[in-house]
Amino acid sequence: MAMDYAKCAKEIYETLGGRSNLVSAAHCATRLRLVTVDNSKIDMKKLENIDGVKGVFSNNGQLQLIIGTGTVNKVYDEFLNVSGMMAATKEEVKAAAAAGQPIFKRMIKAMGDVFVPILPAIVASGLMMGLVEALGKAIPAFAGSDWYGILDLMANTAFTFLPVLIAVSAARVFGGNIFLGAVIGMIMIHPNLLNAWSVGSMEAAEIPVWHLFGFPIRQVGYQGHVIPVVIAVWMMCKIEKWLHKHVPEMIDLFVTPLCTVLVTAFITLGLIGPIFSTAESYVLDFAGWIITVGYGIGAMIMGALYPLTVVCGIHHMYNVIEAGMLSAAEGINIWMPIASAANFAQGAACLAVGLKAKNVKTKSVAIPSSISAALGITEPAIFGVNLRFVKPLACGMVGGAAGALLGSVFHIGATSYGVTGLPGFLITLDYTVQYAIVLAVSFGISFVLTWFVWKEETEDAGNTGKTEDIRDEGKTEGTECEKKAEKALFSPLKGNVIAREAIPDETFASGVLGDGIGIEPEIGEVVAPFDGEIASVTDTRHAVGITGSEEMQVLIHVGIDTVNMNGDGFELFVSEGEKVKAGQRLLAFDISKIQAAGYSATTAVLLTNSDDYPDFKVVKTGKTDTMEKLFTIE
């Protein structure tokens, strides 16, 4: 029976409490995204039981109703009719949701948005510094060579000009001109100012001072600070936006940039810099105290709690602390061992589950996820396995606590942030043995505890099919004509196939939108997995729905939360209602741009009506090429 879109929209509207409890509404490929005045007034159970609503959850201040591809847009149109609301962009909904969140969460999110995009530059520089230093120690003659000099220059650049990188990223986040932001960052580390790292050894009377407006302004740079830069650029964006609104358009191009830079620079050097650099010093001293307090007890507590901050999505706040530590005169990140011990422990717990489990699907999720965690990417292990079974998560927290304690006792320091696990050896060269002990202890305790504490439920152990059979079934056979007629779906892109449960998104991983798989792409191109018709496309070009033979309804969703990129980095080659052939190009995307924006490029390939088929079977895991068989139906 066809879904009654108007009835669904009307029931949603009434359950939400009517227009007085609604702020804005938008939709993506699968979800109705709403911002409400007060979620506590809503009967969530009743909302979930509405025909057409597959799930309800709240995330980042948005109430998200999972409806499904090809359906959500129709329900959304009816929802606008019944509510009398105007269509909103996802950016407007995102802004409205952010405004309704507690100020603490907004601050953490803003900091994460600023520091995550510059992570590739920091990681590249940190790893290069580690490699150059390692070569210098292994080959003494190399340490004094021209090659060492130029490579050392390249490695240090990101950290030397870190305030500029932060300023550009902050201007993007706060909605200002990124080039004006860069100017503010460069003013704060201008070579005419005394280098902040050399001021500590000088007497106060030796520091030159400007006397302006009756106030003294010290001629000191901010090479050792990051928070003052973020605050300064936030202020700059506020000033720039105010000027754009009040300066006549005919002189806006000249007046607004000039006044924005001048006013911001004076406020920064005279007020923001001195106040917040002092405040940041206290924050860093407090973080260092936490790590070392009670002979490492503080570090042990943080090592245990670290995975929970990942679950809550607030772990990016540590980037601010780590960046501050690296920018300080010592240039050592002592927070890294805590994160590394916690992440490695979660990977060990996940591996124990993978080796102990009899269920083929659990193994196929856990073992690759544990390898990912060992390399520093823990979301698949935490969300796909440990959090799902709970006990492995707790065992990993114990192992992480023990490893973090040792890291504090050994006083391990790193030369970068954003790198943990096995790659961490490259940024902890002065503590190689100690770091190895930290990882070994974290791994051993977590693995052993999980092995003895976690027991597979009977229903989970029911599927004991052999991996070899799955591999055999995954082989692509037959002609193109056979592919078109077969009751199967073929891979729409090249990459690494992971189980649905390992997709780092709760909605996709839970199966509420249908069964399927995830693909970690190697090439940014999506093709049609069979002959069919385009059922839906998104205005942000990151997802497409396609209907094929046997009434298969497939959603191909590129990346996690990539709706927030508003189409940047995506190119769509088809339109709704268009007939397509197997292997035909549907869309292209820039993997590096997705990752630079702080999102995962993992692509969900879901059969949204999988419940209509008595036998849905995934026949491919691991590396896949385009048009290899992924799953079959009966």
CATH code where residue 33 lies: 3.30.1360.60
**Any domain includes 322:** no
Task: Let me know whether 15 and 138 are in one domain.
Answer: no
Q: Which residues are catalytic?
A: 28, 557
For residue 603, tell me if it sits in a domain. yes
> Do 492 and 544 sit in the same domain of this protein?
yes
Q: Kindly compute the dihedral angle of the four CA atoms of residues 62, 65, 66, 71, in this order, to the nearest 10 degrees.
A: -120
Within a domain: 298: no
User: Taking 60 as the threshold, does the pLDDT of residue 136 lie above it?
Assistant: yes
Q: Does residue 318 fall inside a structural domain?
A: no
Highest mean pLDDT among 285-289, 356-360, 400-404: 400-404
SS3 485: helix
**Residues 241 and 138 both lie in one domain:** yes
Read off the CATH number of the domain in which 627 is found. 2.70.70.10
The answer to whether residue 575 is domain-embedded is yes
pLDDT in tens, 379-419: 678 877 888 788 999 999 999 999 999 998 898 988 877 77
**Are residue 518 and residue 625 in the same domain, yes or no?**
yes
Q: How confident is the model at residue 517 (pLDDT cuts 50, 70, 90)?
A: very high
66 and 29 both lie in a single domain: yes
263, 293, 323 - which closes a domain: 293
Per the domain annotation, does 299 fall within a domain?
Answer: no
**Structural domain tally of the chain?**
4
Do 282 and 153 share a structural domain? yes
**Mean per-residue pLDDT, 158-165:** 86
Residues 276 and 132 in one domain: yes
**What pLDDT score does 194 carry?**
86
CA-to-CA distance for 443 and 378, rounded, in angstroms?
14
3-class secondary-structure state, position 195:
coil
pLDDT of residue 459: 47
Domain boundary among 408, 434, 461: 461
What's the whole-number average pLDDT of the chain? 82
Residue 317 pLDDT grade (very low, low, confident, very high; cuts 50, 70, 90)? low
497 and 455 belong to one structural domain? no
Are 154 and 262 members of one domain?
A: yes
Same domain, 78 and 125: no
pLDDT of residue 477: 41
Of the residues 426, 461, 496, the one at which a domain ends: 461
Q: What percent of the chain has pLDDT over 90?
A: 27
What is the 3 state secondary structure string of 489-556?
Answer: EECCCCEEEEEHHHCCCHHHHHCCCCEEEEEEECCCEEECCCCEEEEEECCCCCEEEEEEHHHCEEEE
For 599-616, what is the mean pLDDT? 84
* 3-state per-residue secondary structure call for 31-99: EEEEEECCHHHCCHHHHHCCCCCCEEEEECCEEEEECCCCCHHHHHHHHHHHHCCCCCCHHHHHHHHHH
Host domain of residue 83: 5-101
Tell which residue, 27, 8, 16, has the closest CA to residue 69: 27
In tens, the pLDDT along 414-459 reads: 887 777 888 888 888 788 899 999 999 999 999 999 999 998 875 4
Please check whether residues 283 and 377 belong to one and the same domain.
no
**Residue 310 domain flag:** no
Asked if 538 and 444 sit in the same domain, the reply is: no
Helix (H) or strand (E) holding 588: strand 585-589
pLDDT at site 470: 33
CA atoms within 13 A on the CB side of 606: 28
Is 521 a member of any domain? Answer: yes
- Check residue 224 and give its pLDDT: 65
